Every structure is written in structure tokens, then in C-alpha cells.
Structure 1
Amino acid sequence: MSRSTRRAGRAVGTGRAWGIAAWTAAAAIPLAFLAVFFLLPVVSLIATGFTTEGRFDASGIPAVLGEPRTWSVVGQTLAQAALGTLLSLVLGVPAAFVLYRLRFRGRAALRGLMTVPFVLPTVVVGVAFESVFGEGGPLAALGLDRTLLVVVLALAFFNVTVVARTVGGFWSQLDPRPEQAARMLGAGPVRVWWTVTLPQIAPALASAASLVFLFCATSFGIVLILGGRSLSNVETEIYRLTVQFLDLRSAAVLSLLQFALVAAVLVVSARLRRRREQTVSLRPTAERIRRAHAPVIAVLAATVLLLHLLPMIALLVGSLRGRTAGADGAAEWTLQNYTNLFVPPADSPIDGSVADALATSLGIAALAATIALLLGGLVALVASRRPRSRVLARGIEWFDGAIMLPLGVSAVTLGFGLLLTMNRPLGIGLDLRTSTVLIPIAQALVALPIVVRTLLPVLRGIDPRQRDAAAMLGAGPLRVLGTIDLPLLGRSAGLAAGFALAASLGEFGATSFLVRPDTQTLPVVIAQLIGRQGSDSYGTALAGAVVLGAITAGIMLLAERWRGEAAAEW
């Protein structure tokens, strides 16, 4: 064997070794982050609930499971999630057809606008629906305030977008010729839908339904603001047990129940997602608008106008009304509520101004989004690999599933767990509870699954033959990564950053446990002010919600412009 051949062999071996080390580090960093800041706090909090005098005690489980209140809350959670999912599907499928199967001017802009509701802070949406159905709202006479219907409508407000994006992105790729053939054979629109279209999009529908059910079942801010104790779900019940009664045992049992439910939903969603990826037929198509499309266009228009715009308009109008009545007995138009954002009213229950809280929120959200984007990029790169080894392939599946775990645990459990465990964690001589970094970490954990689900489809869409060709031409693993994967990852980074920033900016559940007087975030401040109806603080809360909603909407519209052809999974 010649010296040059041996040298080339050593170079290849060294390159492989560096490649293995790099991929191992890429997987280890997010897993370590998850272990320290997610698993440790959650497991510690649940263990505390099952510990009596320093010993494990599971005797409380039968007691909690035997309480009627427990199963009432579980039943309400399932009912809200099922009804929210059903309404989201009914409204989201027509939206998916119009936005992804029809061709018209302004379609891209309308898609961007339809994304905004999903990322609006739950506090903003809760306040908006309260402005519609609550005291003094345009629909207050219907008597629907604090009812299941309003909660379900608010859940659908968020999740119609999930259905439209998940189903629409899949639907737009299907071959239209089977539908055309069915029409030529005399099948009407309904027959074509039931016999051809529905079976084709069924995997995407089921995947969307599982995701929406997950989001509805773990909703916190919406149910807390619009439902009250009578409509508590598992998430708000954990909050009530933890904050009001310090009943960690009952909270721990409910956390385990919720985790089991969400784990089952995530398993179903993962299987349906793989089936959807395998059955897609890459034949992008769009048709012009015809008169026959009028019904689905009408459904989309009603969804946008009544479900999305009406609450936002009511919120804006309420923020421009003062407490003082005019000559006609109605409240006067004023900008005082917006002035109060900078100079707090006399009855304000918070220290500092709402503007200060907004500045704090923006800084914290920017740091959280950066953390989520860096970790999410590593996760997406690792999870997009397609190794030939069955063991490695199964390991990547488990790795991808592990990153989704924050979706399956109550944000309340996460926040309280961080508060309990971050006092010199793992022997580190630093109390993170007094630092400013703990809130961004909690928000990054919430945003991380969204970032991964945004970036991963782009990388999985790369033809493996491109990587094989680059390797055959002598490119090492890192060179292949830099020339093929990273450029495509960068195209979707703008959209992922927008999702991460918006999710962090509106995070409420975990943050509510971690804020201090000098780190109050805007969603937490709005929640404190909104409970003082009839006061200047209530008007200030409405104005703050308008500002927070406008900033979030602006972030997402910019992200949609930057994303190009990148396609998020939802």
C-alpha cells in the first residue's frame, strides 16, 4: 500500500471521527438543556407531591383519583378539547382549501394574516373575547360570558390556523387528476369530496386533529380568563391547587394524568405525521376561483370576520373608551388608557408602568427566542438524519419525541418546578431564581417544540441523493452539512425565529411563577390588571393587550415575508 493511500485513509478516518463527535455534541447539548431545566424541575415537583416525611408515599393517588372533582376536571378538559378540535376542523378545512388550492391575488398576504391568531398571547385573546361577551361588550346581551361556548370559540380562534396550515400544505401537493377524473365521470362536488378528496387528505386531517386536541387540552390562559373555576381544565386546576392551596400531592397526580394523556396524543401525532410524509405526491397545483367555490370562501370570510376580527375590534374599541360617560350616557372616546401605559393610574396594583413591562418582555423574549433557535437548529439537524442502522433510526425517533415533552407538561408545573429546584441546581453555587436568565430559559422550553416543527420539514425534504453525491465527490460530513443543509435551514430560520419570539413574548403560565417585581412581563401585568373591571386599570389592561397583540402580529407578518418557500409543519 502506497504512502499516499495510507495518508488518504487516515484523513477519511479522521473526518469520520470528527463527524461522529460533532453529531454527538449536536444531540447532547439540547438533551442536557432539557434534562437540567425540564426533567429535573418537573420530576422534583412531582416527587415532592409524593413524599411524606422524606419517604415516598403513593397513598394519596387513590384518594385524589377517588375525588369527584378530579374526574369532573378531567371530563371538562376532554370536552373542551374535543369541541375545540371539532370546531377548528369545521372552520379550518375550508380555509385550507381556499388558501392552498385556489389561486388569487393576495393569497400570500392572507396566509400570513391567518397565521397571526395562532401566535397571539393567550392573555390578549382572553381579554379580547371578554370584551365581546363580557359586561359592556357588543354581545353581552346573549349571556354567554363564562360559558363553555365562549371557551370553545376562543380555542378555535387559535387552532383554525393549525388546521389550515397542516391540511393546506399537504392538500396543495396532491395530484388533482383523480378529482378531475371523478368529475368527468359525473360525480358531483359532494361525491368527489367523500370518495376522492377526503381519503387523500385523511392523514393530514388526523395529524391536525391530534395537534389541535393537544393544544386545547393544555390551554391555560384562555380557560383561566374566560372559564373561571366552574370550567377549570387540568391545567388551571393544577395552578389553583398549587398557588391557592399548596396541595402538591393533588397537583402531582393531575400532572401525571395530563402527561399520560398528552404522551398518547404525541405518539398518535408522530405516527400520522410519518404516514403523511410517506403518502404525499409532490405535484403542486392551484386552480382559479370559480362560482362553485362560493360556499367555502363564505366560510373563510365568516371565520376571519366573526371569529378573528370581531374580538380584536372589540378589544381595540374598549381600549379607546374611558370610564367617564358623555352626554348620551355612553363612555367617551379617549386615549387616556394608552397614556396610562407610561404613567400608571392611581388604582394600579403593579409597581412600575406597563411600558416598563413591555420593554422587559421584549428583552426576555429576544433572549428566549435565541436560545430556542440555536437548540432547535441542532435538534432539527440531528432529527433529519436518515441512518441505515435500525438502532440509530429508532434512536433519532426517540430523540425527536423527547424534545416534544415540554408540550406534554403543564406550564404551571414547569414554572413551579423551576422555582423549587433552581436554588443552586446540581451543586452549582448560583441561585438561578434570583437571576434574570431563568424566565428566558422557561420561555425557550415552551418555544423549542415550535421551532423544531418549523425547521424539521425543510431538512427532511432534502433529497438524500444530494448528500450522497457530495460525499462521493470527496466532501466530508461537515462540508456536506455546510453546503447542503445549512443554506436550506437558513431559509426557514426567519419563520422559526418569528414563532419563537411570538411564543416567548406571550408566554404566561410558567412565567407567572418566575417573575419578580423588577422582571414583570407584559402578559403577567395584563392578567393582574384585567381583574379590576370598572377601574382605570382595566382600561390600561385593554390598551396593553392591544399593544402586545399588534407587536406579535407584526413579528409574524415580517417572519412570513422572510420565510420564502420554507414550509412549517404547522
Structure 2
Amino acid sequence: MELFATTALIALLSAVVATILGYPIGNWLAGTGRKTRQLVSAFLLVPFLLPAFLIGITLLPLQPNAFNSITGILWIIGAHVFMNVGFMARVVSANQIPADQMEAASLDGASGLIKRFAIELPQQLAGMLSAGLLVALYSATSYGLVLTLGAGRVDTLETEIATAALRDLDLSLALALALLQTALTLCFFYLARSIGAEPTPLFGEKETASTGSKLGGVLAALLLAAIVIVFAGVFVRAITYGPGLVENFANLAGRGGRQILNISVAEAALNSLRNLLVAALIALPVAWLAAGRKKTSYLVLLPIGISPVVYGLVFLVLSGYLPSALSGTWLLVPIVQSLFLIPLSYQVLRPARQSVSTEIKDAALLDGAFGWKMFTQVEGPLVRKPLSVAAAFVALGSLGEFGAASFLAYGSQATLPLVMFRLISRPGPENLGMAMAAASLFIAVALAVVWIISLEARTQRQER
């Protein structure tokens, strides 16, 4: 129960702090010009798109050598907040109140403070609670981050599941802890449903009358500075650690100092790309179909709160009962990854599909647009931006998945996060230099994805 309480505390505090900081930043974003909003939003979203273990790697060199479990928990919560504040701010910015409502309130004599807390906040609350639920679920299942920043001094349900299953071979204890972790997820969902959480758009183009937020501007500047400092530190370490920049990147084709890896970093990256394609082919169609239903399905969101470590453990136990053509292959990893990528895609696609006018769909049906035609000629073009965002989230989520892969990917099937963690957990400047070089590439890919999403938004506006 101490592990249960620690995991719940980390998740709840991470979500609450990210929401409190994200609200003024989101209001400030909404009050800026369109170009500024796009540019700042892109940078703020980069930490959210990166895998948790990679955030742990980037912050690890900043952590003091001497710390206890309390300070370790604070570091983990701080890392979660660093990852998710930009996401919360984007949710708030995309769900501002229409300008006509604010103008009507001004005509009735409402002050700025009253408009903010009596008109805006109540209407934004459902979306903020839904985003907060997502942050809490991610924070409760960030196995790689706890492993890197906890340094053995912070134990959560996830780390103990892995220890019981992989080190002690105590599957009964591991399964009992997995049930506790699932119970924690159910508690979060019950809480979210009881207070009215509802998925809302991440990218809105409404005409708003937001006056911005001075506090949000200050917090946004501090957050942007932190993002630049942290990520610049990774690039600097890729240059200065080990034999230097060129050799660190060249060494990615090798197996590290003293051949500590079973496969090279480049081969592991190819494994991750292969898993990504299969996971996306499963997750995106399922999320698309679920997002088209009239009622919000919390059952679709449920898998995101079950730890990848739990999935890995369950599939490891079941592998003996699965067909040999499946249990002994790499396919298990992307199948498991798709289970918790479906809810993430659903969170993005649900508001987008629901916003498509029923009149448009009914007219298309009368013209004979069914199934694939409805998707390619009617709904798909209308929700192209959210669809590309969902695809980007799935891609980066699969590439950076650590927990399930630690149970199911081994030998020549190891993924990029596994070999990166092995590199930082072994001494030697050559290994650390390789890890920082790989992390730099990961960050560059995330920046490219965010930039492509931003270009997509501009293209859509030009077409309109």
C-alpha cells in the first residue's frame, strides 16, 4: 500500500501542478498573434511528445549525486510537469470561449476577473479535467523516468513489478502489484467521470476575445528557457562526451564500449521503426472507429492507464499459451504498444470527428459515400490536422516505449529505448556519448514532427 500511495501521490501532484501552471500559459497563448501562438506552441509540445525515459536521460546530468527518496520524488514530479505543462497550455488555448460570449458579458458589465472565473473557466473545465486525467495516467505509468531519476531510491508500483518479475522471478507478487496498479487507474477514471471530464480539441481556430495573461507570459518564458537549456545540454553533451560529436554518431553503428550491446543502436532503431508501423496500423483505425461513436467511451481510454510494464508482464505470462508463430516473434511488442496508443489517438480524434457536421455526413451518404469513400472524400479531409497529430503521437509514442519492450524485446529484437538505457547504465565516456547522440537525434525528430504539424495547419488555412 505504500507503493500504491507513492504512485498515486506522484501522479496526482504531477497532474495538479501541470494544470495549475498550464492554465495561465494557455490563456496567454490564446491572447498572442497566430504566428507567435503556433511557434511557441510547437516548442511547448516537444517535451510532451518525447518518451518519459528520454526526459529522464536529459535531466539526469542536472541531478545532484546525493539525494534521498523525498528529493527523488520531487525530481520525478518536476520532470512530469516539465513534460506536460505545454500540453495543458495547448488544451486551454484551443478551448477559449467564443468572442461573442465575452462581448455579451462585457456589455453586461462583467469585469475581467469575473469573465475569467465565472464564464471562461466553467466552460473550459471539462477539457482541462480530461487532459489532467491523461497527465495523471501517464505520470502513474512513467516507468523509464522513475528508473532513471529515482536511481533506486524511489520505488513505485511499476518498478516493483519489474523487480519482482525480472529479478526475483516472483510472478505472484508481480501480478498482485499489477492488480493494484490497475485499481489505481480505475480510481482515476471514476474520479474523472464523476467530475465531468470530457475530451476536447487540442487545436482550435475559434475567433476569441482572450485578453491573455501576464502571469502566463512570465511562466511561458520560464518554461521555454528551461526547454532550451535542457535540450541544449543534451546536444552539448553529445559533442563533449566521449570521443566527440562525429565519432559519437559514427559509434551508433557499433555496440558500445566493450561491446556491451547485443545489437547496434542503428539496428535497434530499425526494430523500433518496424514496430511503429505495425502499432500505427492497429491503433489509428481502431481509434478512428471508436471516435465516431455518439457517446464518449471511457473503456477506450482505460488501457492508457494500465502500465506498459503490466502489459509486458501479462503477455510474458500468456506467451506460453499463445500460438508459437506469435509468442516467439517481435510482433508481440507492437501489438502491446497499440493497446495504449489507441487511447492517445482517440483523445485527439474524438473531438475532431464529433465536430464534423451531421448535415455534411448525411448529404454524403445520400450521394453514396460509404466506408472508405466517406473517409477519403468527406471526413478525412475535414479532420486532416487532428489525424496527422494523432499519427505523430502514435509514432513518437511507439518509438519511445520502454516498459513493455523491457519484458518482451530481447536479443536481436531490442528497441532503441532499451539500448539507450543500457548505454547510460554502464560506465564509460564512449557509452554516454553514444547515448547523448541518440537522444539528440530523438529530440531532432520530435522537433521535425512538431514543425510538420505546424506547416499542416498553415496549409489548411491557405486552402480555406
TM-score range, shorter chain: 0.7 to 0.9
Distance across 1 between alignment mates of 2:48 and 2:312: 22
- Equivalent residue, structure 1, for 2:418: 524
- Equivalent residue, structure 1, for 2:58: 128
Distance across 2 between alignment mates of 1:480 and 1:316: 46
- Equivalent residue, structure 2, for 1:319: 238
Distance across 2 between alignment mates of 1:181 and 1:534: 67
- TM-score with structure 2 setting the length: 0.87
CA contact (8 A) 2:69 2:154 kept: no
- Aligned partner (choices 96, 102, 106) of residue 171 of structure 1: 96
Tell me the SS of whatever aligns to 2:414: coil
- Equivalent residue, structure 2, for 1:105: 35
1:401 aligns with 2:298: yes
1:205 aligns with 2:128: yes
440-449 or 480-489: which moved more?
480-489
Distance across 2 between alignment mates of 1:525 and 1:309: 26
Matches within 5 A, 1:371-386: 371-381=282-292, 383=293, 386=294
Distance across 2 between alignment mates of 1:102 and 1:271: 34
Distance across 2 between alignment mates of 1:94 and 1:365: 35
Q: Deviations over 1:303-351 (max 9, x none)?
A: 1212x22221222222222358xxxxxxxx6543223222344334102
Distance across 1 between alignment mates of 2:30 and 2:69: 34
Distance across 1 between alignment mates of 2:209 and 2:115: 17
State the identity %: 27
| Paired AA for residue 176 in structure 1 | M
- Aligned partner (choices 433, 455, 458) of residue 539 of structure 1: 433
CA contact (8 A) 1:241 1:250 kept: yes
CA contact (8 A) 1:173 1:285 kept: yes
- Aligned partner (choices 292, 315, 332) of residue 438 of structure 1: 332
- Equivalent residue, structure 2, for 1:7: none
Tell me the SS of whatever aligns to 2:207: coil
- Equivalent residue, structure 2, for 1:305: 225
Cα 1:276–1:504 change in 2 (3 A) is closer
- Equivalent residue, structure 2, for 1:148: 73
Cα 1:564–1:419 change in 2 (3 A) is farther
- Aligned partner (choices 250, 256, 262) of residue 179 of structure 2: 256
1:180 aligns with 2:113: no
Q: Which has the higher Rg, Structure 1 or Structure 2? A: 1
- Equivalent residue, structure 1, for 2:216: 296
- Equivalent residue, structure 2, for 1:496: 390
- TM-score with structure 1 setting the length: 0.72
CA contact (8 A) 1:91 1:300 kept: no
Q: Deviations over 1:344-397 (max 9, x none)?
A: 44334102321222222222212322322232223323x2xx4xxxxxxxxx65
Q: Deviations over 1:511-538 (max 9, x none)?
A: 1111132122110001111112444212
Cα 1:77–1:111 change in 2 (3 A) is same
Distance across 2 between alignment mates of 1:365 and 1:467: 32
Distance across 2 between alignment mates of 1:77 and 1:196: 35
Matches within 5 A, 1:335-484: 335-381=246-292, 383=293, 386=294, 397=296, 400-423=297-320, 425=322, 428=323, 430-470=324-364, 473=366, 475=368, 478=371, 481-482=374-375, 484=378
Tell me the SS of whatever aligns to 2:35: coil
Distance across 2 between alignment mates of 1:173 and 1:230: 48
Q: Deviations over 1:452-498 (max 9, x none)?
A: 22112111112223334555x56476598455434434453222111
Shift of 1:87: 2.0
- Equivalent residue, structure 2, for 1:227: 150
Shift of 1:171: 1.9
CA RMSD of the aligned region, Å? Answer: 3.2
| Paired AA for residue 82 in structure 2 | F
Q: Deviations over 1:2-61 (max 9, x none)?
A: xxxxxxxxxxxxxxxxxxxxxxxxxxxxxxxxxxxxxxxxxxxxxxxxxxxxxxxxxxxx
- Equivalent residue, structure 2, for 1:549: 443
296-305 or 260-269: which moved more?
260-269
Matches within 5 A, 1:26-105: 71-105=1-35
Cα 1:436–1:81 change in 2 (3 A) is closer
Q: Deviations over 1:126-169 (max 9, x none)?
A: 1101022255xxxx9x9999622211111112211331232222
Tell me the SS of whatever aligns to 1:149: helix
CA contact (8 A) 1:454 1:495 kept: yes
| Paired AA for residue 315 in structure 2 | L
- Give the aligned length: 456
| Paired AA for residue 185 in structure 2 | V
Distance across 2 between alignment mates of 1:434 and 1:198: 52
Distance across 1 between alignment mates of 2:199 and 2:317: 41
Distance across 1 between alignment mates of 2:249 and 2:210: 46
Cα 1:336–1:475 change in 2 (3 A) is closer
Query: Unpaired runs of 5+ in structure 1?
Result: 1-70, 325-332, 387-395
Distance across 2 between alignment mates of 1:371 and 1:119: 20
Shift of 1:502: 0.7
Cα 1:287–1:254 change in 2 (3 A) is same
| Paired AA for residue 210 in structure 1 | L
| Paired AA for residue 113 in structure 1 | F
Tell me the SS of whatever aligns to 1:285: coil
